[in-house]
Amino acid sequence: MGRIWILVGERLALGVITLLVVSALIFVGVELLPGDLAQEILGQSATPETVAAFRHELGLDQPAIQRYFHWLLGAVQGDFGTSLANNRPISELLSVRLGNTLFLAAFAATVSIPLALTLGILAALYRNSIFDRLCNVVALIWVSLPEFFVAYVLILFLAVRVALFPSLSNIDPGMPFGELVYRSFLPALTLVLVVMAHMMRMTRAAIINVLASPYIEMARLKGMSRLRVILYHALPNALAPIINVVALNLAYLVVGVVVVEVVFVYPGLGQLFVDAVTHRDVMVVQSVGLLFAAAYILLNLIADVLSIVTNPRLMGERR
């Protein structure tokens, strides 16, 4: 048991170091953008004195390393600065948009994870059957299609031709829950179709790999049904790769929704990120990028920890 805590501590330390490195890369990437930020905001007609005063107000006249640590320290304390586009606190913008993105991700995960696991288990149970082949073909099709294409196809058939759902997901946190689900259905369905195929294929592959083990053969010789063998013997021992792929897809649902949110004009972090890039609001770009990186690293850490905990070989000390 002590070895598990050591491995978990190592993963947490590695996650903190990774986040620090990523934050530095985000800051450097924004710094390398061409042009003068103050000049871009004030326009070409601004005098050099005005530009210099504005640079001082923004803190751009300070050394880059000093600005980085000032920004990082503020971010750790929850103070991301002020938006250059609308002069609002960035933490206020992030709180609303983050809630919308998490709602969309939770909506998609609630549907995609149980459905993908069920289809993966059934595909492994009826391996090489027509059902298995059909699931594989459909999964390969959805994995091959980009998100924006899937989104536009759903808009064409479910919003334009049939008019069942709105093509624009202009939600408001004050809306009733049913209205939120209705307006978020198309972007959530897009995410479900994109991530479900990958999770289903990994579940199938992991279970089939475990089914080749000797103890599975022993369970079959004892007369257990195939479904019982998979649910009680194969699935628990195939959890590590399944957990990893589920966590990676959950990370995608949080940080990879930029294209989907832009297509449906969904007011989440992805849409905020694109708007900030358009208006050259670098403080918001840095903050959203850091938030995306933190979410991705956190979910990967959770996947690593759960994989360690579900590995029986790590439950005892090495001798």
pLDDT tens profile 155-206: 999 999 988 999 888 888 788 999 999 999 999 999 999 889 889 988 888 8
For residue 226, tell me if it sits in a domain. yes
Q: Largest Cα–Cα distance in the chain?
A: 87
For residue 318, tell me if it sits in a domain. no
Residue 223's alpha-carbon distances to 45, 89, 219, 247, in angstroms, are: 84, 65, 7, 35
Question: How would residue 311 be classed by pLDDT, with cut points 50, 70 and 90?
Answer: low
For residue 196, tell me if it sits in a domain. yes
- The full DSSP string for 198-244 is HHHHHHHHHHHHHHTSHHHHHHHHTT--HHHHIIIIIHHHTHHHHHH
For residue 12, tell me if it sits in a domain. no
For residue 73, tell me if it sits in a domain. no
Q: Say what the pLDDT of residue 1 is.
A: 57
Q: What is the dihedral of CA 138, 139, 141, 144, to 10 degrees?
A: 180
CATH for 255 = 1.10.3720.10
Structure tokens at 269: 């972090």
Q: Say what the pLDDT of residue 214 is.
A: 82
Question: Which residue has 């770009």 as its token pair?
Answer: 285
45-96 tens-digit pLDDT: 777 888 788 777 777 778 889 888 988 898 888 888 888 777 788 888 888 8
Q: Say what the pLDDT of residue 313 is.
A: 58
Those residues whose C-beta lies under 8 Å from the C-beta of residue 222, and which sit 6 or more positions away, are none
100-133 tens-digit pLDDT: 999 999 999 999 999 999 999 888 888 889 999 9
Q: Note down the domain range covering 121.
A: 78-304
Q: What is the dihedral of CA 266, 148, 286, 292, to 10 degrees?
A: 80
For residue 42, tell me if it sits in a domain. no
- Report the domain count for the chain: 1
